[in-house]
Structures are given as C-alpha cells and as structure tokens.
A and B are shown apart, each in its own frame.
Chain A
C-alpha cells in the first residue's frame, strides 16, 4: 500500500512540475481570427488556404502574435464563396464574405475574393465593417484606383500578390527578351474570354505593337473550351513566331498538347494555369516541353536566387504531402500571415486603423521577394528580389524539369527553342 502511495505522489508531482515548466512556444489567450473567404473549390484558393494554415501553425508554434503584451494564437476560419465557379453571381459570393465577417468576427481577412469582379464589389463590405484585408488572388488594378480615390473608405484593403498591370509588364519584358535573343516579332494571342485575360491580352498586344511587334491575330475562348485547333491553325497560317496564351481554366493545358501534336512551328510563351505545377508534366503526357509559363509570384516555384522561396516550397511539400501546384496565390498568402503578425505587433493592438497604418510601413523579405506596399496598397513587383517582389517565367524541359528563364536576375538558363524553330537574327 505504501509503495502505491509513493507512486501516486510521484505521478502528481510530475504532473504539477509539467504545468510549472514554462512553454514559450505555445500561445494562450483569445485567438486572433483570420478569415479566408475565397473559392476553396479551385486550386489557387485551396492551396492559398493551405499556405495560410501552414503559416498560422508556424506562428502559433513560435508563440503566437504579441497583442498588448500578451501572446495570442492565430485562428483560421474559412468559407468557400464560390466566386470563381461558372454561373455564380457576384452578389451570392458577397453573401459568403459578409457571413464570415458577421459570424466569425475576424480581426483580418486574408486571401480574399478570387475573381476581380467579386473583389471590386466586396470592397464596400470590407469598408463597411472596417476589417483589414490582404488579398492574394484577385488581380484587377481597378481596386487600387478605388483606394486612391476614396482612401478613408477603402484604406483597409491591401494586395500582396501580382496585379494585372505587373503581369503585363512581365509578359512585355519576356517578349522583348525573346526578340533580343532570337529576333522574333510576329505574335498570335490566344486567351480565355474573361475580364482579366481579355484586358491582359489587349494591353500586352497594344504595348508590343507600339514596340514594333506584328500582332497577327487574337483568339478568345469561352471558359470550358477544350479544342484549340482553330486558333492554332490561324497561328500557323499567319506565320506567327510566338503564341501568347493567357488562360486560367483547367482545360487550357490541352492547348499546349495540341500545339505539340499539330506541330505548330512557334514558341509558346505566356500563362496557362494548369502548366504551372510540377504535376503538369505527367498530366499532359510530357507533351509540353519547350512551353514557357509565367509564375505570378516566386515561392510558388522554388527559385535558387530567392532562398526564402525554396524554404517555403519545401516546407509546403512537407506539410501537405505535395508540392505547390498553382502559379498564383499560395506564396503571397503565406507571406501575408507574417506581414499581418508584424503589423499587429507594431500597431500594439487589434485596432483596424492602427493595423492599416502599420501595414503601410511593411518592409519585409518574404518568399516572394521584398514586400512593400505602394500608395494603392499594392505590393511593388520588379526584376530584383532584393528591391521588390518578383514574378518569373520558366520553361518546361524534356524530362519534366522546370527551368527559370526570365527575368535575367534570377534566370537559371537561356530560353531554348523547340526543335524545328530557328532564330531569325
């Protein structure tokens, strides 16, 4: 009996000692709620949510966020607002945005609406409830215009990802690089018939035309189209040297497969979302060698010259069991949690106005490069990761390797022409 008494004393003693040992890695107190209202049924939305969860786990493991002297954990609440799904009207998507604000009382919103149409309409809801929002998917620069026009109302809205204006900059830069390397200047444009793709195609074409490029034609495809033969035949007939594709629908990867099987003698360089991830090689039966694809933010692809991007990419793979597959969203979503943590700590509390003021002063080296917001609350993108955030373009190589070829500051190799295509200079 005595022996058992000592056993119980030892057990209780150990348990008490366990409670007394300081555990600096665990955060206590009321959680700081981060809401993620986006299209979680789409790859970019799903992986962006994963990236936010991963960052939140890291922050909480490291002790949480310091709010008025107390360490508090982050908590993620998400809702699928389905704004990217065909046929879902914007008002329905906005119901989801308002629902999560009213039901979960978030201290901040991250990722945000998927489609630009939903973002623009949703800005009034954000302004109404005064919740800081750091978007990482919707790309319209029109939101920056609204912020600049009525700053007091819309100051809560930030964007950490690429916008359409910077995307055009990268595409124009890539085309000029191709012209410099190979002398090509005959372009055929193929794009999805949605607002962002249509505008990106129009503006890119207009700028290139002014630079002396010949724009031979433009073919718009409705969302869901899976036969691109007519556009490819037109590109061949017009003797195009480069095809610029701009698509974010799942079927668009087929375009490159058809380009391959129809043996169209052109370079394929632009943005096709299904081509961004490492699994595309197998998914498209290795028929995508030579195609070049934009990655909107580094980190969604590991870039050796941006070590943080490699670290994030590998950590994501360890946490979720597979590599990032989307070229847009996850890396800036991950960064956003850290940006927000620093802003809350700098603000010294959870007052929205103070957080906004602190966010405006952000200057951080993240997975996407250097993160700073401009007066329209858009992260500044550029060509050098030490000076700005960065997007890049890679080329699929035989064997399924993705090699970064643009911009030159982070390029791993030169662009290789597909067999049968010769430089003209």
Chain B
C-alpha cells in the first residue's frame, strides 16, 4: 500500500506542477497574475473535444492545434485587455478574472453540460510497478511533466527569447535599456503561460472530465502551488507540487480522501503566516528591504 500511495502521490504531484507551471511563468516574467488561467484550461478541453467530435480531426492534430490556439488567446488577452492596465495589479486581477468568468460561463450558457465531455487517452493500457497497476496516461503525465521542466530550463537559459524573459523578470527597466521590448515579452509570457496551460489540459483531462467548474478548481490549484512555492519561482513550483501532492495522497490514504482539500488550505495558511513570499519566493523580502 505504501508503494501504491507513493506512485499515485508522484503522479498527483506532477499534475499539480503541470497545472501551475504556466501560471507561474506568466507571473514570474510579466508580474501579471492571470486569473483567466482556469478558463484557458477549460477552453482547451472543450476546444479539443469540438475538434475531435464535431470537426472530425484526429487527436494528434486537434491537441497541438488547441495548444497553439490557446497560446494565441493568451497573447490576445494581453494585446486587447491587459496592455491598458499594465502595472495596476488589482485591475489586472479583476480584468483577467472577469474574462475568465465570461469564458467559463459562456460555455455553460452554450450548453456544455453533461458527462460526455471527455478526451481519449493519448496512451491506452496500464503497466505494473511491482504490485501497483498504473494506467499509461498517468505514466505519460509524469514523462511530460519531467520533460517539460527540462525543456523550460533549457529555453530560459539558452535561447534569446528565454534570456529576454529572464531579463525582464530580473529588472524590467535595465532590460528595456538593453533593447528588450517589455510589452512584447509580456505578451509572449501570456502566450507561453496559455500554451503550457493548454499542454497540461491535453495530458491531464483524459484522466478526468471536462466541465466548467474544472476551470475554477484549476485556478485554485495553480494559486495554491504558487503561493506555497513562491510566486515566480520555478524551483518553488516543483518543490511545492511535490510537498502538496504527496501530502494530499498520503492524507487520503491514511486519514480519508475528504481531508485532501484541507492539506492545501493548511499549507497556504502556514506559508502565509511563516514565510509570506513562499518557500522560494523573494517578493516580500525585497519589499521589506526597500
């Protein structure tokens, strides 16, 4: 039972990391807390479902198409809405939350209600790890999660755009002095965040169902991981995902599944009390030093 819990705990942790990576990337670079993040997740899910079932595209085309389209939606969100509000944190939150709300409730209005909204697994079947059976889709989630983390590190450390991202994240004014276009990078950060969110949706949704309410849940999960790990810190996101993911699964196993949600809330409460910037965040310390 311990091994089984460990295996499913790791899967749960990687799911949390995948869900939070995009949100964290956008915030880390542009400082924008994209509260439309959950809506982008659901948009991808329904989008892939429509392309599969209504348009008739195969999954290997529908999934990448929606990743690209969702990334474009993220960019559009910046160009149309956020560019006018840049720097006004509360307004950014209200605007993105409003857009997210509108998108999610529009799906409800259109009648996307029911149990048939599911995506087929990218990999079918199951494998055994000792006495523990694990479906291949969950195994794929772990592989995608690990690969994506590596690719993101390479991208931000060894590509021109990635270095520009980091430049803006470290000091926007200095980066601008060096010719890095702040608005363009912010737009790309929204696009990349949206793309990562869509990628997470494409690999995670086949083990669940697509529903409007999932949008709100995903936003909460992403926020929880980022708060515990430290907003803007990639290492923090990974560490927090594993802390929360394993704690949730072991709690479910040894105390009961209905206690799982409490774990997240207690973790947020503890972190905000003891270390408000999160495990690896720096914002609060910087503010205090200034």
Contact = CB atoms under 8 A, between A and B. Distances in A.
| Residue among B125, B134, B253 facing the most chain A CB atoms (10 A cut-off) | B253
Contacts of B113: 41-43, 46
Contacts of B108: 41
A253 B209 contact: yes
B8 A251 contact: no
Interface string A174-194: 000000000000000000010
B130 interface: no
Nearest to B209: A250
Contacts of B261: 222
A83 to B, nearest CB: 15
A254 interface: yes
B115 A273 contact: yes
Given A222-B260, A226-B207, A274 B115 contact: yes
A325 B8 contact: no
A325 B116 CA distance: 9
A263 interface: yes
A32 B217 CA distance: 42
Contacts, number: 107
A230 B135 contact: no
Interface in B157-198: none
A282 B257 contact: no
Contacts of A226: 207-209
B115 A279 contact: yes
Interface in B98-135: 108, 111, 113-118, 120-121, 124-126, 132-135
B124 A283 contact: no
A224 interface: yes
B6 to A, nearest CB: 11
A386 interface: no
A257 B120 CA distance: 12
Contacts of A263: 126, 133
Given A237-B1, A253-B209, A224 B217 contact: yes
A220 B257 contact: yes
A284 interface: yes
Contact of A222 (B135, B249, B257): B257
A285 B121 contact: yes
Contact of A253 (B1, B4, B115, B256): B115
Nearest to B3: A233
Interface of B: 1, 4-5, 8, 11-12, 108, 111, 113-118, 120-121, 124-126, 132-135, 207-209, 211, 213-214, 217, 249, 252-253, 256-258, 260-261
A262 B217 contact: no
A86 B217 CA distance: 11
Contacts of B257: 193, 219-222, 225, 228, 230-231
Given A250-B115, A257-B135, 11 more contacts: A41-B113, A42-B113, A43-B114, A220-B256, A222-B257, A230-B257, A234-B253, A237-B1, A277-B116, A279-B114, A280-B116
B260 A225 contact: yes
A362 interface: no
B116 A193 contact: no
A42 B211 CA distance: 11
Contacts of A279: 114-116
B108, B114, B253 interface centre (most CB from chain A within 10 Å): B114
A41 B253 CA distance: 33
Contacts of A225: 257, 260
Contact of B253 (A224, A233, A253, A258): A233
B124 A250 contact: no
A262 B115 contact: no
**Residue of B116, B124, B134, B261 with most partner-chain A CB within 10 A:** B116
Contact of A224 (B12, B111, B213): B213
A326 to B, nearest CB: 9
Contacts of B258: 193, 220-222
Interface string A261-305: 111000000000110010110111100000000000000000000
B115 A43 contact: yes
